Structure 1
Amino acid sequence: MNESELEASLETAGFAPYQASAYVALLELGAATVPEIAEKSGVPDSRIYDVLRSLESEGYVEVYEQESLQARVYDHERLQEQLRERAELFSDAREEIERRWEEPPMEETVVNAVTRFETVVESAADAIATADTQVQLSVGLEQYRELRPALRTARENGASVYLVISTPDSEALPDPESVAAVCTEARHRELPSPFVAIVDRSKVYFAPHTDSANEYGLIVDDRTHAYVLHWFFLTNQWTVWDSIASSGQANGEYIDVRYLVDDLEPLLENGKRVRVHVDGADTDSGQRRSVEGVVRDVVYENDGAGPTARGGRVTLELDTDAGTVEVGGWGALVEDIEAHRLRVESVT
């Protein structure tokens, strides 16, 4: 390492340029007079005294009188230790930069584990009350009663609410009319069930059923987790149980495009003309979009097992006033619209 490189290193360690030049000169000269230091370092005569005094105040050199004003390096081991610590800091920073670069960006997903079941219910209530698209909820009677105000608010905001109430045999179901007032449709599950709430396809609230040995809960703000719980809700909580209440708007309304397509196929095979209204999001812009049209075709990849039997692509093709529009389900990529709510308007 030459003089220039050493001076640059000291500047990186916090030395001013003139300080670095004077210090390197003193390392080579040993004890020297002030004019000798100025000549060797290239520091102007008008600045050399101030530079040496600043180095002295910081403990790097000693300035003393011996026939003339002189200076020498003082306690070079202290500076070596400071440089060693700074080198370790830079090394740690390099490793941290590499770690953060290689790690997946976890900040995109928010997952909170809580120990109190009440925390999950209270957080779900806040989210449900602000829902504007869709709520899927599986609860026991006690939680249903606690969440009724939030469900009513969600309905007033225009959100579709799909409710599953789980009860043991000994518990009586609430009045169907009162249930219909706070949901789009409700079904009755005759087995204990975990608490599940999925709000606007992004927020998830989960806790084991009350008979579980462990009490904990998950509060998640992430579409991928919501998608997984959505299918758990459909297959385990919703599809296999009977309806107990529905609002007038529930007639012909579907949670998922797959279930609509399953019912449409027999109608289309019999030559029926089916008109469908879709609320959802444009897959290019992400903005809300609604369309209405006559079903032109249904497309799905499932080897003849029915669209709800597989996780492959399911597409609904509609003839609208603006031309053919392709409608897909949750996570649609190649279609024009990701459907959030589908409703059969007419069958002729």
Structure 2
Amino acid sequence: MDRDTLLSGLSDAGLSTYQADAYVTLLEQGVSPAVDIARHCSIPAPRIYDVLKELEQMGYVETLDRETLHARACDPADLIDDLEVTSERLTAVAEEIEDRWERAPLGEHEMNVTKRAETTIDHAEDLIREADSTVDLALTDTQLLEFEDVLTTAFENDVVVRVSVFPTAGEDPDLTDHPVGDFVTELRRRSIRSPFLALVDRTHACLVPTTRMPDPYGIVANDDIISFIFQWYFQTCLWAVWEPIGKRQRYPLVYVCLEEFIRDVYPLWWDGAIISVTVEGIDTDSGDERTVSGVLREVIYSGQTMDDRQPTLAELSGQASMVLSTSAGHCSVGGWGALIEDIEARRITLRGIEWVR
């Protein structure tokens, strides 16, 4: 370390410029007369005596009365301890400042990249506690247990929670009786590890790459467009291709994805089943919350064929909507981001399936 850096460090530790200069000079010169100390540093000769007495009172130097005033540096053990404590305290303060900045609530349409994965996961827990409608969650079985409290809160708030879980143990454990599964709407197990992902109320997204990354980081977004992109990743890669665990589905069945609902009921509807549903969503004209109940009358999607084949998610990735016959007439229902339909569906409850004899 060069001399200027050492002087700056002592100044940061509370020494004045003159005090730091005199102390470093004593460390370099050893026992020296006061006039020689002043000669080897930038302190005016008349001022050196006061500076040495100040350092002696601080316990940094010891003065010796000979023919002229001499001084020498004291054992630096106490000073080193003080500097180490100060360094630790400043490091802790720096980390706390960074953590508080990263954990600060996001404004509208904002995205933060956090330096620590744990910060992003903490954000996800806070968002899930405040969720109003839906949560899509991809995580490990170990993380799932750690989320027990927040998932319990979501369950009590009538939030639809879909969880895609990856086993962390060497062997594929039986998750049929996974205890936290009692607090989720549906639980599915995947065999391929993925990033941690939490999607809350179609607006917030929290993503943490896998631990294979050399420098784990996280992304916290408050933006419905970015959340929409992540939701399709969740739906296609982490959800639709994996089977539910046990009999975790609750009845009546509740869907938060219109495309998934269409895939499940389309063959039944084509065969003539009377499918009764309740849709909770947003009126696309007024922006107000709206709930309608009725019977499925029509299903419309891109590349639709006139047969009972279950449509693929690729076919539903373009236009996908349905028409309900309600007591007030026909009502069109679209999925996330619907513009031309009457309602953007947020939650679809399957009330019943009847067959006409």
Q: TM-score range by the shorter chain?
A: 0.5 to 0.7
Give the structure with higher Rg (CA).
1
Q: TM-score, normalised by structure 1?
A: 0.65
* In the alignment, structure 1 residue 319 sits paired with structure 2 residue 325: yes
1:137 lines up with 2:137 in the alignment: yes
Match of 1:162 in 2: 162
Tell me which amino acid in the other structure corresponds to 1:115: K
Q: Secondary structure at the match of 1:244?
A: coil
Per-residue CA deviations over 1:174-217 (Å, capped at 9, x if unaligned) read: 55262332100000011211000000000000011123333110
| 8 Å contact from structure 1 (residues 255, 342) kept in 2 | yes
Aligned length: 242
| Contact 2:176 2:245 (8 Å CA) reproduced | no
Please give the alpha-carbon distance, in whole angstroms, between the structure 2 residues aligned to 1:248 and 1:235: 19
Do the aligned partners of residues 150 and 225 (structure 1) sit closer, same or farther apart at CA in structure 2, a change above 3 Å counting? Answer: same
Tell me the CA shift for residue 109 of structure 1. Answer: 2.0
Structure 1: any 5+ residue segments left out of the alignment? 1-106
Aligned equivalents of 1:145 and 1:122: distance in 2?
Answer: 15
Q: Residue in 1 aligned with 2:257?
A: 256
Which digits, 9 at most, give the CA deviation of each residue in 1:293-315, with x for residues without a partner?
Answer: 10111111125492522321111
SS in 2 for 1:331: coil
Q: Quick check: 1:294–1:319 contact (8 Å CA) kept in 2? A: yes
CA contact (8 A) 2:145 2:180 kept: no
Distance 1:263 1:172 in 2: 28
SS in 2 for 1:228: helix
Partner of 2:148: 148
Q: How large is the Cα RMSD of the aligned pairs?
A: 1.9
Contact 2:187 2:248 in 1 (8 A): no
Structure 2: tracts of 5 or more residues without a match: 1-106
Instruction: Give the structure 1 partner of residue 186 of structure 2.
Output: 185
After TM superposition, list the pairs within 5 Å mapping 1:70-85 onto structure 2.
Answer: none
Identity over aligned pairs, percent: 34
Q: Which residue of 1 aligns with 2:311?
A: 306
The 3-state SS of whatever aligns with 2:250 is helix
User: Scaled by the length of structure 2, what TM-score is found?
Assistant: 0.64
- Which one of 326, 342, 345 corresponds to residue 348 of structure 2? 342
For 1:289 and 1:195, the matched residues in 2 are separated by: 32
Matched position secondary structure for 1:176: coil
Q: Contact 1:140 / 1:165 at 8 angstroms: preserved in 2?
A: yes
Once the two structures are superposed, what CA deviation does each residue of 1:68-105 show, in whole Å capped at 9, x if it has no partner? Answer: xxxxxxxxxxxxxxxxxxxxxxxxxxxxxxxxxxxxxx
